[in-house]
Structure 1
Amino acid sequence: MTVTARAEDIRSPDAVTLIDELSAELAALYNVGDGRAGFAPENVEVPRAAFVIARVDGVPAGCGAIRPLADGSVEVKRMYTRAAYRRRGVAQAVLTELERLAEQFGYPRVKLQTGPLQPEAAALYERVGYRRIPIFAGTWDRVLAYQKDLPAALARPEVAS
């Protein structure tokens, strides 16, 4: 089994299918009408943003995106792994590629939010070095927010003001 993850067009048929599957899964999980959580393809059709698809032996298995935030950091959105591919390293491959791209784009840190009914996602983020932070976007109080400082940011000396 070979897992690859790379940036692709968010409007490709595979991307649209993965996002639709994720949105339907989240809508059912949280009993809401729209599982898109305010996300639109335009969110990653801006400079220093990307949409990543993971493939297992060439078959689309998962996805994720990064989009810039006003505070100079980047946010991970639309993390998803198809049920048949879970626990095979797909989500970690997507996250690793998103972090690599974020660092390449010059972001000092990555932020993300997930819901309390997604303990596997929270466990992954904590396992790979994300730490809990206060909610940074939205008004839903049940959000779990995380942040990870990127290696290049950690290596930069602090600038005195």
Structure 2
Amino acid sequence: MSQWTFAPEPFDTADATALRRAYYGDVAGSYWRRPATEAEIDEGLTDDGAARLAAPTGRFVVGRHGGEPAACGGVLLLDGGRAELTRVFVRPGFRGRDGARLLLECLERQARGLGARRMVLNTRLDLVPARSLYVRHGYAEIPAYCTGPYMEIWYGKEL
């Protein structure tokens, strides 16, 4: 039996903020090949668009394992029935416990609830475990739908 629970939560609660900081530290640190500093995390989260991950434009989800905040992710409505999957993260100490799959399923339900019929995402080539997760769960490579400095590969899935 799973000890995971997932629920939408405002992006700026204490738990959501801690998870967003951990997410940014994890992805930035892997890119820079060194730990991100607190100041770099602060800068990265400034005006990062997380406020759009609230109704009616999106959702932010917090996952808890045994009651402890352990995962997060967001969906953002784009256009024409598309939603973007973003900020998908499971704390390292909670990986390997089926949380990523359950988080993706929850985020897909949230996107459908917002009216999306297709989910898209972008990521970096070096984030191999994340890319493998998406492919395992039915995401396929698609042409670029957006551009940015850390966007190297794009995926999509019909919901």
TM range (shorter): 0.7 to 0.9
**CA distance 1:85–1:124, change in 2 (3 Å):** same
Given that residues 3 and 55 in structure 1 are in contact (C-alpha distance below 8 angstroms), is that contact kept between their aligned partners in structure 2?
yes
Amino acid of the structure 1 residue aligned with 2:100: A
1:127 aligns with one of 136, 148, 159: 136
Distance of 1:72 and 1:15 partners within structure 2? 26
Larger radius of gyration: 1
The structure-2 alpha-carbon separation of the partners of 1:37 and 1:28, relative to structure 1 and needing over 3 Å to count, comes to farther
Q: Where does residue 88 of structure 2 map in the other structure?
A: 79
1:154 paired residue number: none
- Structure 2 counterpart SS, 1:107: coil
Asked if residue 97 in structure 1 is aligned to residue 106 in structure 2, the reply is yes
Identity of counterpart residues, as a percentage? 30
Name structure 2 gaps, 5 residues minimum: none
1:51 aligns to 2:60 (yes or no): yes
User: For the residues of structure 2 that align with 1:97 and 1:142, how far apart are their CA atoms?
Assistant: 24
Letter paired with 2:22: E
Counterpart CA distance in 2 for 1:111 and 1:37 is 24
What code does the residue aligned with 1:23 have?
Y
TM-score (normalizing by structure 2): 0.85
1:149 equivalent in structure 2: 158
Deviation at 1:45, TM superposition (A): 2.7
1:133-156 Cα shifts (integer Å, max 9, x gaps): 012112347612110101xxxxxx
* Cα shift readout 1:34-86 (whole Å, capped 9, x = no counterpart): 65597322121340410011111110111000011134300011001100001
SS at 2:105 equivalent? helix
List 4+ stretches of structure 1 deviating above 6 A: none
Question: Counterparts of 2:144 and 2:68 in 1: how far apart (Å)?
Answer: 34
